Amino acid sequence: MKFATFQRRFAVLAVLAVLGVTRVILPVGAQASTPNTPSQQMLLPNFSALAKQVQPGVVNIRTVKTITGGGPVFRHFFGPFERRGPQPPFGEGMPGNEQRQRSLGSGFIMDADGFIITNNHVVEDADQIKVRLADEREFDARIIGRDPKTDLALIKIDGGKDIFALRLGDSDRLEVGSWVLAVGSPFGLEQTVTAGIVSAKGRFIGAGPYDDFIQTDASINPGNSGGPLLNMDGEVVGINTAIVAQGQGIGFAIPVNLARDIVAQLKDHGSVIRGWIGVGIQDLTPELADYYGLKNLKGVLVTQVFPDNPADKAGVKTKDVIVAVDG
């Protein structure tokens, strides 16, 4: 499987949209002309009020950056598992060329001061950032901080009055099967709302050291990057970030509980300060637990200790099993 973060591409898409449907008929093996009883029908929620509530807090982000030959175009073909930003049109970024690349993404307002959360790959290396609100007001934005390891970024607009901020929810309380909304600008189509369910939690997709994604079947596409995934209370539970390139209905969002801590550090320091103890570890397997005489799989096995680092100075050794941390 090939995972790709969103990028702006123009394509001709055929989409069959069915509007105004309030219920879906469960398959019962009967002929189409057979009347359906209430027990054969499942009511779907009405998303219109929720969409109107949250759309003012979602923004369209346009960036301009300078690219040179051998850059994103070549990484697009030779880095299938790379977390990628928007790609230039064909021909730009070829060897020896320097081009101005224009890209689109999404984001959402986190407070009345104009702070906006988005993906790092949306604004990375941008020379200019423009933010367009749902009411069509436009602002220049500046980067407050970026964290490539989690693909999160915090930007800010100044001078905006009467802006609507979205509430952050609790992604730990999100359950598989729960309804969610995705709002953003797929293919530049601003304020697009799609609905789906949480397909899985804790997904590892090989995108970085902090893989812990929410999987959803809400339709998300290039341009949705940085936009919010929301629960039925209108709270942000995730930041839409990646899709399966060959699949449909498989998208991934960064849990908002992870984003909350990262964004707080970006706001205070402009970067993320992470602890380092200087060890390599691996999860315990049943075989390892049996070998070390452990009663359960709680803990990690130390596979490497880096010299002159905190763990080495504290006396941690290779093949130690860490079962608890104090402090």
The residue to which tokens 């109107």 are assigned: 52
- Helix (H) or strand (E) holding 242, with range, is strand 235-244
Structure tokens at 288: 């390892």
Which entry of 106, 171, 225, 320 is annotated as an active-site residue?
225
User: Active site includes 185?
Assistant: no
User: Active site includes 225?
Assistant: yes
Residue 307: how many other CB atoms lie within 10 Å: 8
Sign of the CA dihedral running 5, 60, 258, 71 = positive
User: Active site includes 121?
Assistant: yes
Query: Mapping DSSP to helix (H, G, I), strand (E, B) and coil, where does residue 62 land?
Result: strand
Which entry of 103, 106, 121, 320 is annotated as an active-site residue?
121
- Helix (H) or strand (E) holding 120, with range, is helix 120-123
Distances (CA, A) of 28 to 32, 38, 40, 305: 10, 13, 8, 60
Spatial distance between the Cα atoms of 27 and 30, rounded to a whole number of angstroms: 8
Spatial distance between the Cα atoms of 263 and 111, rounded to a whole number of angstroms: 12
Q: Which of 77, 119, 84 is nearest to 101 (CA)?
A: 84
Which entry of 106, 147, 151, 171 is annotated as an active-site residue?
151
* Length in residues, the chain: 327
Q: What is the DSSP letter of 225?
A: T
Q: How far apart are the first and last CA of the chain?
A: 40
Hey, which residues are catalytic here? Answer: 121, 151, 225
